[in-house]
Amino acid sequence: MTNITRSNFQAHPFHLVSPSPWPLFTSISLLTLTTSGVLTMHGFSNGGYILLLGFLSLLASMAFWFRDVAAEGTYLGDHTVAVQRGLNLGVALFIASEALFFLSVFWAFFHSALSPTVELGAQWPPLGIVAINPFELPLLNTIILLSSGITVTYAHHSLIQGNRPGVLYGLIFTIVLAVVFTICQGIEYTVSSFTLSDGSFGSCFYFGTGLTLAPIKFGKKKNNTLLNKDDLSYWVSGIADAECSFILKVAKDISRNFSIRVVPEFTIELHEKDLLTLKRIQSFFRLGTIKTRIRDGKSTVIYSVQSIKNLTDTIIPHFNQYILLTQKRADFELFAKAVNLMYNKEHLHLEGLKQILSIRASMNKGLTETLKTIFPDIIPVVRPIMDLQVIKNPLWLVGFVDGEGCFYIKIKKNKKIPQVLLTFSISQHSRDANLLNIIKNYLECGVIESVSTRPNSVNFVVYKFNDILYKIIPFFEKNHLFSVKLLDYKDFCRTAVLMENKIHLTEGGVNKILKIKNGMNRQRKFE
């Protein structure tokens, strides 16, 4: 319908749009895009593909809808002055909504950065996140983006002035800059050490810089921060194998039967810098307390569960399903028997109390001299012999390394240039030497060594650089560490890259590696 004939049918200058499928198609595309975006952020396995599908369908709906709008504004003559005002207002509202969207992203960014929570490691960038230097690729991208704004403005003014070559060259330069910008943005997303799923930092980064290449990023790198229940359960058992204790505390208490009080306790004790790791474990079990202990000038944090009900209903069933692989499993079996006796109130009777003390005599350091004096007839129960197990899930090994692993850089002095060596090791009591052999076979590298200064200790060590580069690092890239040991691993990887590129053979390279080494492990400082 043209403007000439419109006056015969309507008394207003507005365009009454004919029925169109594009509003519905666009709504479905936007719903798919937002839903898949949320699924992707929560680690849904195929979320990235659905996100890409939603993005492509949105592009298609935009293309077809604007095709119809262009036809209405040109061939059909439907865009009167009043309609053009409405379109201008729509564009203005769209820009305002975009501004509010980015305001919300920056609001989230500054809120997290200015007051980082414990879940973020009480620091910004969060614990384990290696941020991109803003004065490198991001600065170049900003310059390219601003330059494209200049070229498209030049093309616009050339169009107004009727300068056709100016329009053509301005648009060509704009498109070239857009392609270069997209390539640089893709490189930035590819080399970054975090994903859209990595908490508020990842979300703010990708929403702030654009989600165009986010599906590619998700396709290339597995979400490391969010685990399914089964994987997380194996991780908990792994770190428990490394750092937990099953304790039966027995003490004098005149208010109790036979003046003896028995308290069962499951604990995981870590350095205070790993408080966040214990909070993760506490969140997993949804029970227990965390306390701080200072001993010999060293501060540690302890996750503790003492409630017989919680031990019976949660802790013991967990370790029955996700079995411990070290000899701590024998302590667990004895501990579970003692807790079961207490759950059934057997400890309130002398015979039941003696059974618990017999179990206690076979655990850890046995009975104290005081208890031996009070109960001289206690005979330790036979300590169970544990069958050799297999590693059923790589997350068990991740948890075990979070507790007992070590990423170390060694620099040997030489006449010319010092020699740089990378080593990855796991230390255990000699009674768990067989487990270290299982780990050695699982990773298909490394050696088992005894330490002369510690006769009761054995080490699994990987010395060969090729094994470090092609077996150890790929394993932990695929299976993410969760403790502060992740920071040592990141420094370890940085050094491996320098060595792979032969930079360690130069004096400047050695100095750079020495600086990295001096900030690792016990020398790392936390604010």
For 180-192, give the DSSP string: HHHHHHHHHHHH-
Structure tokens at 299: 């501060």
Q: Which amino acid is at 234?
A: Y
> Among residues 304, 189, 285, which one has the least CA distance to residue 243?
304
Contacts (Cβ under 8 Å, ≥6 apart) of 358:
378, 379, 380, 381
193 pLDDT tier (thresholds 50, 70, 90)? low
Instruction: Answer yes or no: is pLDDT of 151 > 90.
Output: yes
216 pLDDT tier (thresholds 50, 70, 90)? very low
Arithmetic mean of pLDDT, 354-362: 88
Instruction: Answer yes or no: is pLDDT of 462 > 90.
Output: yes
- Predicted pLDDT at 383: 87
Cα 20 to Cα 252: distance, rounded to the nearest angstrom: 84
- Predicted pLDDT at 186: 81
List of E strands, 430-467: 447-451, 454-462
Arithmetic mean of pLDDT, 240-250: 91
Q: What is the 3-state secondary structure (H, E, C) of 209-239?
A: HCCCCHHHHHHHCCCCCCCCHHHHHHHHHHH
DSSP run (H or E) holding 271: strand 260-271
Span of 29-33, 122-126, 163-167, 312-316 with lowest mean pLDDT:
122-126
Domains defined for the chain, CATH in brackets: 229-374 (3.10.28.10), 394-523 (3.10.28.10)
Cα 508 to Cα 3: distance, rounded to the nearest angstrom: 76
Cα 522 to Cα 406: distance, rounded to the nearest angstrom: 11
Kindly state the percentage of the chain with pLDDT values over 90.
Answer: 33
pLDDT tens for each residue of 71-84? 877 767 777 777 77
- Predicted pLDDT at 304: 94
The three-point CA angle 277-280-282 to 5° equals 110
Cis peptide before 380 (omega within 30 of 0): no
